[in-house]
Chains A and B, each alone.
Chain A
Amino acid sequence: MIQLDQVSKHYPPPKRGGAGVTALDEVSLTIEAGEIYGIIGRSGAGKSTLIRVVNQLEKPTSGRVLVDGVEISSLSGSALRRERRGIGMIFQHFNLLSSRSVFDNVALPLELAGVSKAKIKARVEPLLELVGLSDKRDRYPAELSGGQKQRVGIARALATEPKVLLCDEATSALDPETTRDVLRLIAEINRKLGLTVVLITHEMHVIKEICHKVAVLEAGRVIEQGAVFEVFTRPQHPTTRSFIGMVTGIDLPPVLANQLRADPQPGGEAVLLIRFIGDSADQPILSRLARHHGIDANILSGRIDHIHGQPFGTLVVAIPGGETLSTALAFFETHKLSVEVLGHVAPALLATG
C-alpha cells in the first residue's frame, strides 16, 4: 500500500551558517494494505519527516514514495491534492479548528472536496457515532477533553474515506488511560474498515498495544524492522533493546529469545513474564501455584527492584502449554498479578533447565 524507495530528506544549513540536517537517509520501507505499521525512534530521529513524506507535506530530496500504486512524490498541484484526500492524518496537538463545531470540523475535508451539504450530513453523522461523539456534535473543541479532541481528529481524518491513516504521535499529549482508548479506537477502525495505519511514537508500549509491524528509526535510518513479536523478542540493535527494556523491564537470555515463537508449540511450554508490584512481591506465589494446582513453573530469569521503597519485580517462567497454561493464567488473575505471555518454546529446549 505504501512504499518508500531510497527516500532521503536533507534540510539545507541555515543562512547564518551551521550544518544542514539529514532527516531521512535512504529509507526503504514497504507497508502492506491493512497493516498497522509502527515507527519508533528517539526525538529527532526523523519520524515526523518520514510520515510527512507519505502525504508529501515534506518533499523528499531524493527517492520515490508510492501510495496505492501511485507515485505521489512525483505529483503536485491538483493531482497531489486529489491523492491527499485518500490519506487521512491525525496530529499530536489535534489541529482542530477552534472556530468550528465538532460536526463542522469533521465536515471540513468534505467541504474542501466540494461534497454537497446533504451528503456531508449523511457521512459525518455515522462517523461521530463511530468515534462515540454523537452527543458532542454542536460543541466546540475548547469544550472537549484531549481524548475527545483526538476522536474528532480521527473522525475528520476518516471523512473522505481514505485508504491510509497517518498518526503522528497521536497519543503523546494524552494520559495513559486515554491513550489506551484512542489506540483501541484506531485498532477497531483498522479492523472494521481495513484501513492501513502508519503510527509514529516514541513509546514502545504503544507499538506493543496495537501494531503488527514496527520499524526502528535512528538518525534518519531504519535500523531494524519486522513483525512486532520478532523485534520484541529478538532485538538486534542496542537502541531497539533499550526501547524494549522500557516496556518489559527485562533482557531475555539470548538462547531463550532465539527460540521464542509467537504461536503455541505442540507439547511445548509457554514463557510468561510476571510482574510483581508492592505487596504481591512479598507473597510466595509460585509455591502456591505448585501446591494448589500442582503446576511447576520453571524460573528462567528474574529481578527485584525497589522504586521509592516499594518492591517491584519481574520474573520470567516457563509453564506447560494448553490446559495447564489456562489454569495458571486464571490463578495469576485471581491474585491480581500482571502476566504477559511472551511467547512459546518447543519442548526440547527447556528440558535441560
Chain B
Amino acid sequence: MSHQLFLLLVNATLDTLYMVAVAGAIGTALGLPLGVWLATSGRGELLAAPLFNRIGGVLVNATRSTPFIILVVAIIPFTRLVAGTSIGTSAAIVPLTVAAVPFIARIVETAIREVDRGLVEAAEAMGATPYQIIAKVLVPEALPGILLGLTLAIVSLIGYSAMVGAVGGGGLGDLGIRYGYQRFMPEVMAIVVLLLIVLVQGIQSLGEQLARRVNKRLRTA
C-alpha cells in the first residue's frame, strides 16, 4: 500500500469519527431531552401538553421518514446558515445531526415509556415533583435501554455518514466510492469496508457493555 493511500485512509477514518462523534454528541444533547419530553407530555402525563406533544410527534415522524440523502439536499440553506458553508466535513455534520435528533428522541421516548408506571406512582406518593420523577426515576430506570438505543443511533450515523460525500463531506464512505468504485481500486473498497466493520463492531460491543453495566435488573450470578 502506498504511503499516499495510507494517509488517505487515515484521514477518511478521522473524518468519519469526527462527523459521527459531533453529530452523535449534539444529537444526544438535543434528542435526549426531546425524547423525555415526548414520553411525558401526552394526555394525563407528568408534563401534560397533549397538543404540543402531537405536533412534536408529527415533526419527528416527518424528519424520520425523509430519506437521508434527500434531507441532506433539502436543508442546504439551513446548513449554510449554521456552518457558514454547505460543503465539507463540518457542513456535513449539520444534516447528520438533524437526522440524529429525532431518531434518538424516539429511542429515548420508547425506553422511558417502558418504565413501570408503578415506579412513577411510588415516587408521586413520596411527594416527588415531575422533574424529580424524570431525573431520579424515569431516566435512571430507562438507562440500559437508552444506551442500547444510542449505540444503534451511532451505528446508523456511520451508515449515513457514507452518504455525505455527496456534499463533499469526506470520510470512509466517500473514499470508498471515489477510489474503490470510480477509480476502480477494489483493494481500497475492501479496506474501507473492513474498517467500517471494525468500527461498527467496536461501537456495538462498547455500547452493549455499558448497557450491561448499568442494568441491575438481571441477577449477577
Interface stretch (choices B63-71, B167-175, B212-220): B212-220
> Contacts A99-B214, A142-B216: A81 and B125 contacting too (C-beta < 8 A)?
no
Closest to B128 in A: A112
Which one of A95, A111, A143, A160 lies within 8 Å of B219 (CB-CB)? Answer: A143
Question: Distance in Å from the Cβ of A208 to the closest Cβ of chain B?
Answer: 27
Closest to A55 in B: B125
- On whether the beta carbons of A112 and B216 are closer than 8 Å, the reply is no
- On whether the beta carbons of B126 and A95 are closer than 8 Å, the reply is no
- On whether the beta carbons of B136 and A111 are closer than 8 Å, the reply is yes
Counting CB contacts under 8 A, is B44 at the interface? no
Which one of A81, A87, A95 lies within 8 Å of B119 (CB-CB)? Answer: A95
> Contacts A57-B121, A91-B118, A142-B218: A97 and B141 contacting too (C-beta < 8 A)?
yes
CB contact list, B145-186 vs A, under 8 A: none
Question: Chain A contacts of B140 at CB under 8 A?
Answer: 97, 99-100
- On whether the beta carbons of A87 and B132 are closer than 8 Å, the reply is no
Question: Chain A contacts of B8 at CB under 8 A?
Answer: none
- On whether the beta carbons of B143 and A112 are closer than 8 Å, the reply is no
- On whether the beta carbons of B127 and A85 are closer than 8 Å, the reply is yes
Q: Complex Cα distance A57/B140, Å?
A: 23
Question: Distance in Å from the Cβ of A322 to the closest Cβ of chain B?
Answer: 49
CB contact list, A82-137 vs B, under 8 A: 82-85, 87, 89, 91, 93, 95, 97-101, 108-109, 111-113
> Contacts A93-B118, A99-B143: A140 and B127 contacting too (C-beta < 8 A)?
no
CB contact list, A58-100 vs B, under 8 A: 78, 80-85, 87, 89, 91, 93, 95, 97-100
- On whether the beta carbons of B125 and A87 are closer than 8 Å, the reply is yes
- On whether the beta carbons of A108 and B126 are closer than 8 Å, the reply is yes
Which one of A80, A140, A160 lies within 8 Å of B126 (CB-CB)? Answer: A160
- On whether the beta carbons of B219 and A142 are closer than 8 Å, the reply is yes
Chain B positions 44 through 79: 1 when the CB is less than 8 Å from some CB of chain A, otherwise 0: 000000000000000000000000000000000000
Which one of B118, B127, B141, B218 lies within 8 Å of A112 (CB-CB)? Answer: B127
- On whether the beta carbons of A95 and B136 are closer than 8 Å, the reply is no
Q: Complex Cα distance A111/B133, Å?
A: 12
Closest to A83 in B: B127
- On whether the beta carbons of B125 and A112 are closer than 8 Å, the reply is no
- On whether the beta carbons of A89 and B128 are closer than 8 Å, the reply is no
Closest to B125 in A: A89
Question: Chain B contacts of A143 at CB under 8 A?
Answer: 219-220
Counting CB contacts under 8 A, is B193 at the interface? no
- On whether the beta carbons of A98 and B128 are closer than 8 Å, the reply is no
Counting CB contacts under 8 A, is B17 at the interface? no
Chain A positions 131 through 175: 1 when the CB is less than 8 Å from some CB of chain B, otherwise 0: 000000000111100000000000000001000001000000000
Q: Complex Cα distance A109/B132, Å?
A: 11
- On whether the beta carbons of A81 and B127 are closer than 8 Å, the reply is yes
- On whether the beta carbons of A95 and B143 are closer than 8 Å, the reply is no
Q: Complex Cα distance A108/B136, Å?
A: 8
Chain A positions 250 through 277: 1 when the CB is less than 8 Å from some CB of chain B, otherwise 0: 0000000000000000000000000000
- On whether the beta carbons of A84 and B125 are closer than 8 Å, the reply is yes
Counting CB contacts under 8 A, is B187 at the interface? no
Counting CB contacts under 8 A, is B137 at the interface? yes
- On whether the beta carbons of A98 and B216 are closer than 8 Å, the reply is yes
Pick the most buried of A80, A84, A85, A99: most chain B CB atoms within 10 A of its CB: A99
Question: Chain A contacts of B143 at CB under 8 A?
Answer: 99
CB contact list, B182-221 vs A, under 8 A: 214, 216-220
Pick the most buried of A87, A112, A140, A141: most chain B CB atoms within 10 A of its CB: A112
> Contacts A95-B122, A108-B136, A111-B136: A84 and B220 contacting too (C-beta < 8 A)?
no
- On whether the beta carbons of B136 and A112 are closer than 8 Å, the reply is yes
CB contact list, B113-136 vs A, under 8 A: 116, 118-119, 121-129, 132, 136
Closest to A105 in B: B122
Q: Complex Cα distance A221/B189, Å?
A: 76
- On whether the beta carbons of A112 and B126 are closer than 8 Å, the reply is yes
- On whether the beta carbons of A142 and B217 are closer than 8 Å, the reply is yes
Question: Chain A contacts of B125 at CB under 8 A?
Answer: 55, 57, 84, 87, 89, 166
Question: Chain A contacts of B137 at CB under 8 A?
Answer: 97
Q: Complex Cα distance A85/B127, Å?
A: 6
Question: Chain B contacts of A140 at CB under 8 A?
Answer: 216
A interface residues with partner B (beta carbon < 8 Å): 55, 57, 78, 80-85, 87, 89, 91, 93, 95, 97-101, 108-109, 111-113, 140-143, 160, 166
B interface residues with partner A (beta carbon < 8 Å): 116, 118-119, 121-129, 132, 136-137, 140-141, 143, 214, 216-220
16 contacts between A and B (CB under 8 A): A57-B121, A57-B125, A84-B125, A84-B127, A85-B126, A87-B125, A89-B125, A97-B119, A99-B214, A100-B216, A108-B123, A108-B126, A109-B126, A109-B127, A112-B123, A166-B125
In the A-B complex, the 3 residue pairs with the smallest Cβ-Cβ separation, listed nearest first, are A81-B127, A84-B127, A95-B122
Taking A89-B125, A99-B143, A142-B218 as known contacts, 20 extra A-B pairs with beta carbons closer than 8 A to each other, sorted by chain A number, are: A81-B128, A82-B127, A84-B126, A85-B127, A87-B125, A93-B118, A95-B116, A95-B122, A97-B137, A97-B140, A97-B141, A98-B141, A109-B127, A112-B123, A112-B128, A112-B132, A142-B216, A142-B217, A142-B219, A166-B125
